[in-house]
Amino acid sequence: MKTYLCSIILLISSLTLPLHAQNYIPTPENLKSRQEFRDGRFGIFLHWGLYAMLATGEWTMTEKNLNYKEYAKLAGGFYPSKFDAAQWVAAIKASGAKYICFTSRHHEGFSMFHTRYSDYNIVDATPFKRDILKELADECHKQGIRLHLYYSHIDWYREDAPWGGTGRGTGRPNPAGNWSSYYQFMNNQLTELLTNYGEIGAIWFDGWWDQKQNPDFDWQLPEQYALIHKLQPGCLIGNNHHQTPFEGEDIQIFERDLPGENKAGYSGQDVSQLPLETCETMNGMWGYRITDQNYKSTRTLIQLLVKAAGKDANLLMNIGPQPDGCLPEIAVQRLKEVGEWMQTYGETIYGTRGGCVAPHPWGVTTQKGNRLFVHILDYQDKVLFLPLENRKVKRAFTFVDKQPVKYKQVEGGITLQLGEVPTETDKVIELQLD
């Protein structure tokens, strides 16, 4: 009787409580995906849309106040003749990345997949007529790499999308939009994305910040999140809102900064217990930008990946594919070189967690059980002190060639005798802890 009463009370309270006040309990499938996500440590972000044709990045529509009806005409000329999903996926896999995050629909409002809910999509509005997302998804599943989908909450094209801080000069008639129509549209599209493209590793939202000046704006995220988790319980939800995670989210995203840093200005928020991911660009822009050949060196990219892992975070590294459907050649070269490094050092990255020695200016540590990997990235000395307070070291050796490294137990930790000043991209010393 008592349990019966309890369940009635629970039921009533769950009906009367607003959804967001409920405690989200991730399912076992979801927890498993979180672990796989963390173990993978490295993903490639792809920003691709009509904006690739303008070749000035994905914000051109709002930055240049391009009229939405004029902008939409770009679709009639979008024919990425060299697009080959198999080639993309192979090049990305070669880097050692474990997942791809693809922009299914960015702020410009164009759907890079075949949707029933708007003609403004890759199949119905372009001469190309191929469902790019479908080809990419099939190839990801075939080649065994997970697929995540970026989905914009902002839409600078649709008349029913309420105006926020951006996209105000694109000529749409009604600033208020029609929220319920737009919300339904987004949920319809999310349903398509989670029904027609096989297993989706994550939905990566972006644009919440566009209504920041309007604190009463309700994005109705709890219901949207619940829909996603209902359709695919293992699908992780992340939102690039630059806040500490909201109820119902499964990962925490950082933009252009590692967790705990804030050079780019988007990341004052606390670091949560959820799996972490930092997104960065290989050059300076997300979408293809013809004038931006300022690619980060392979050394910088590897060090970024290592630093992320040392902060217990994944790195999501962005590439902006060209309008002809190719990945930029330099990007492909970088992918290959990072991959070569991962062939040797992947063991010190995949499946690890941030190590028990906190990040320092000289580098970071990653850890798998009793194996501590000391990643020395930038150090001008031959002796390195490691504050290993309560842990005893049993053995120390170079990770690559297993040569013993001399060490001394000292007050508050150990000192490692490096022999010479390290010049490698990442000198890794493995310690076996007691």
Please report how close the Cβ of residue 265 comes to ligand GLC at its closest, in angstroms. Answer: 12
Q: Of 240 and 365, which has the nearer Cβ to ligand GLC? A: 240
- Kindly report the number of other CB atoms within 10 A of residue 323's CB atom: 21
Q: Are 315 and 325 in contact (CB under 8 A)?
A: no
The Cα–Cα gap between 180 and 186 comes to 10
Q: Per-residue contact track with ligand GLC, 299 to 338, x per CB under 6 A?
A: ----------------------------------------
Q: Chain centroid to CA 45: how far?
A: 7
Please report how close the Cβ of residue 238 comes to ligand GLC at its closest, in angstroms. Answer: 11
**Number of residues in contact with ligand GLC under rule CB under 6 A:** 8
Please report how close the Cβ of residue 281 comes to ligand GLC at its closest, in angstroms. Answer: 8
Grouping H, G, I as helix, E, B as strand and the rest as coil, residue 5 is: helix
Among 131, 155, 192, 255, binds ligand GLC (CB under 6 A): 255
Assess 279 for contact with ligand GLC (CB under 6 A): yes
Residue type, 228: I
Q: Of 240 and 352, which has the nearer Cβ to ligand GLC? A: 240
Assess 286 for contact with ligand GLC (CB under 6 A): yes
Please report how close the Cβ of residue 201 comes to ligand GLC at its closest, in angstroms. Answer: 17
Please report how close the Cβ of residue 367 comes to ligand GLC at its closest, in angstroms. Answer: 28
Please report how close the Cβ of residue 47 comes to ligand GLC at its closest, in angstroms. Answer: 6
Please report how close the Cβ of residue 318 comes to ligand GLC at its closest, in angstroms. Answer: 7
Among 33, 62, 224, 240, binds ligand GLC (CB under 6 A): 240
Residue type, 130: R
Q: Of 280 and 312, which has the nearer Cβ to ligand GLC? A: 280
CB-count exposure of residue 218 (10 Å: 0-12, 13-18, 19+): exposed
DSSP string covering 218-271, please? ---HHHHHHHHHHH-TT-EEEE-SSSSPPTT--SEEEESS-TT--SSSS--SPP
- Kindly report the number of other CB atoms within 10 A of residue 56's CB atom: 18
Phi-psi map region of 23: left, alpha, beta (phi>0 left; psi -120 to 50 alpha): beta
The Cα–Cα gap between 334 and 327 comes to 11
Phi-psi map region of 39: left, alpha, beta (phi>0 left; psi -120 to 50 alpha): alpha
Q: Are 365 and 373 in contact (CB under 8 A)?
A: yes
Q: Per-residue contact track with ligand GLC, 86 to 115, x per CB under 6 A?
A: ------------------------------
Please report how close the Cβ of residue 422 comes to ligand GLC at its closest, in angstroms. Answer: 33
Among 58, 139, 312, 337, binds ligand GLC (CB under 6 A): 58
Q: Of 83 and 150, which has the nearer Cβ to ligand GLC? A: 150
The Cα–Cα gap between 133 and 139 comes to 10
CB-count exposure of residue 115 (10 Å: 0-12, 13-18, 19+): buried
Please report how close the Cβ of residue 223 comes to ligand GLC at its closest, in angstroms. Answer: 23
The Cα–Cα gap between 46 and 27 comes to 29
Q: Per-residue contact track with ligand GLC, 2 to 41, x per CB under 6 A?
A: ----------------------------------------
Please report how close the Cβ of residue 417 comes to ligand GLC at its closest, in angstroms. Answer: 42
Assess 62 for contact with ligand GLC (CB under 6 A): no
Q: Of 58 and 250, which has the nearer Cβ to ligand GLC? A: 58
Task: Scan for tokens 């991209």, then name that residue.
Answer: 425
For residue 129 the two structure tokens come to 């007529």
Q: Of 136 and 372, which has the nearer Cβ to ligand GLC? A: 136
For residue 134 the two structure tokens come to 């479908």
Among 206, 249, 426, 430, binds ligand GLC (CB under 6 A): 206
The Cα–Cα gap between 141 and 345 comes to 25
Binding site for ligand GLC (CB under 6 A): 47, 58-59, 206, 240, 255, 279, 286
